[in-house]
């Protein structure tokens, strides 16, 4: 029978005396107490994972895939309970493309990791000589996740790793440990002991993962600054890395674009998860011919979208997850206002809803050198920048050190594809933004990291290539 939220929460929570209080993102009331694990706990988890890995690998792909499907079934059976916990801890509402969507995506990505085929590749066959490329388990994967999509991104890390025969040690964000602990609890109902362990610790635990000699692969989603520290810490161990780092994604709306058909996708490309998405649209360059229409359309939609506590039916925008992120958004918008930018809508806290709510904000008549354009806001505030020349818009879009995603919007798909080919980003979407697919590789360029997740490329990223020649 599916467990209730209380049962899952009871299974993962620490006592008040031994744990750390985790607040509800909307109300700031304590949800539960997260365990406080240490570096010693991490060391034990790695030792256990090393011991469990050979037997897990020996099960073979068919059996590991069967187990992953069973896990996906259990995720779906407990979807509502997991979504309620996620909504409370992270802040995203149950409704809309939010908490229920995220838990459902966990099941989808788990099934995808189970089903994608990765056959040996014949890479040479001539003159009586053959060579094949095989993909073997790496060993122990260390997965360090973020707080914005804590369950879904953790599944992106652990499901492919498990499928390929690795064992995994997970460190959730200090802001959202309960969601990840609940996810791991569901996984571990079907996994052998020691195959998957969650370590709910502080920054010192994350640093220890990066430098741990018993970890063969590190997967990290988070800031560029932290990613650089992970590269440095892992250098002496030569652990393989997949880094999905910060994004300051640009969008370009081409001249004479029909705004109405793209409006909804444009809005959610910006404001999905109240803007707290790595690959959200963070800078929007709009041609003179449609500039005011785009600004007015986005502002009207922002004013109409229901915002409030995530457990209240109908809300689709929630709070900022933590005070630090709220302060960043407020600072960037205030700076834009002081520079003379036009705050079309929003631009202030929605304190009547709760401590960390900030109104969906559209900022117009702003220049590239403004902090709101240059820095990743990671919140519900979009700078809309005017341009006259497409070549100029491309140059300005490419000026950022980051290159996670980007998008091009227009009536002519072929023209949009030509522009997309000139943008420096790991993924460029056309007439959409931030849409990911478990079969399509995803990863950044420049300071947005390296390595790919999803699809066969994602499976290869958590395996060791082995060439057999004969």
What residues act catalytically?
244, 278
Measured distance CA(107)–CA(101) in Å, rounded: 10
Place of tokens 């705050």: 343
Q: Which of 322, 430, 333 is nearest to 375 (CA)?
A: 333
> Which token pair is 234?
């892992």
- Side-by-side strand order, sheet with 121-126: 121-126, 129-137, 463-469
**Rounded Cα distance, 141 and 462, in Å:** 8
Q: How does DSSP classify residue 138?
A: -
In whole angstroms, give the CA distance from residue 152 to residue 417: 29
**Separation between Cα atoms, residue 110 and residue 112, nearest integer Å:** 5
Do the beta carbons of residue 188 and residue 113 sit within 8 Å?
Answer: no
Residue 443 to residue 144: CA distance in whole angstroms: 16
Angle among Cα 7, 9, 14 to the nearest 5 degrees reads: 125
CA distances to 99, 259, 415 from 396, rounded to whole Å, are 34, 22, 18
99 φ, ψ (degrees, to nearest 5)? -70, -50
Distance CA 314, CA 429 (A): 29
3-state secondary structure of 377: coil
In eight-state DSSP terms, residue 4 is: P
Vertex 280 angle, CA 277 and 282, to 5°: 120
Q: Which spans in 59-149 are helix H?
A: 61-77, 79-90, 99-115
> Encoding tokens for residue 178?
């309960």
d(CA 248, CA 404): 7
């Amino acid at each position: 029978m599916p467990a209730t939220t209380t049962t899952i929460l009871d299974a993962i929570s620490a006592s008040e005396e031994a744990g750390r209080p985790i607040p509800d993102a909307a109300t700031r009331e304590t949800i539960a107490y997260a365990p406080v694990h240490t570096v010693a706990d991490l060391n034990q988890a790695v030792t256990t994972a090393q011991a469990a890995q050979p037997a897990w690998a020996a099960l073979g792909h068919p059996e590991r895939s069967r187990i992953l499907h069973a896990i996906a079934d259990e995720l779906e059976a407990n979807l509502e309970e997991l979504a309620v916990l996620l909504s409370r801890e992270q802040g995203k509402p149950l409704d809309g493309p939010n908490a229920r969507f995220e838990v459902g995506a966990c099941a989808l990505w788990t099934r995808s990791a189970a089903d994608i085929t990765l056959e040996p590749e014949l890479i040479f066959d001539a003159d009586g000589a053959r060579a094949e490329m095989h993909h073997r388990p790496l060993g122990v994967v260390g997965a360090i996740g973020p707080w914005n999509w804590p369950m879904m991104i953790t599944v992106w890390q652990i499901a492919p790793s498990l499928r390929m025969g690795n064992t995994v040690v997970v460190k959730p964000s200090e802001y959202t440990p309960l969601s990840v602990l609940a996810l791991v609890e569901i996984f571990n109902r079907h996994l052998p002991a020691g195959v998957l362990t969650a370590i709910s610790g502080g920054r010192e635990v994350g640093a220890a993962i990066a430098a741990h000699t018993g970890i063969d692969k590190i997967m990290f989603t988070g800031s560029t600054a932290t990613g650089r520290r992970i590269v440095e810490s892992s250098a002496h161990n030569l652990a393989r890395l997949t880094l999905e780092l910060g994004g300051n994604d640009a969008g370009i709306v081409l001249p004479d674009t029909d705004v109405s058909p793209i409006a909804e996708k444009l809005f959610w490309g910006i404001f999905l998860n109240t803007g707290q998405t790595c690959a959200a649209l963070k800078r929007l360059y709009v041609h003179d011919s449609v500039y005011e229409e785009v600004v007015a359309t986005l502002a009207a939609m922002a004013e109409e979208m229901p915002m409030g506590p995530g457990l209240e039916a109908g809300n689709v925008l929630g709070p900022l997850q933590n005070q630090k992120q709220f302060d960043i958004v407020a600072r960037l918008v205030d700076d834009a206002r002081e520079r003379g930018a036009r705050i079309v809508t929003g631009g202030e806290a929605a304190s009547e809803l709760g401590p960390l709510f900030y109104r969906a904000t559209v900022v117009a008549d702003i220049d590239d050198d403004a902090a709101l354009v240059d820095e990743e806001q990671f919140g519900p505030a979009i700078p809309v920048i005017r341009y006259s020349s497409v070549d100029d818009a491309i140059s300005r879009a490419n000026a950022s050190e980051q290159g996670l995603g980007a998008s091009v919007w227009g009536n002519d798909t072929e023209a949009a594809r030509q522009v997309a080919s000139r943008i420096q980003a790991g993924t460029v979407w056309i007439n959409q933004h931030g849409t990911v697919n478990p079969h399509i590789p995803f990863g950044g360029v420049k300071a947005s990291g390296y390595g790919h997740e999803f699809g066969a490329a994602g499976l290869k990223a958590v395996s060791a290539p082995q060439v057999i020649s004969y």
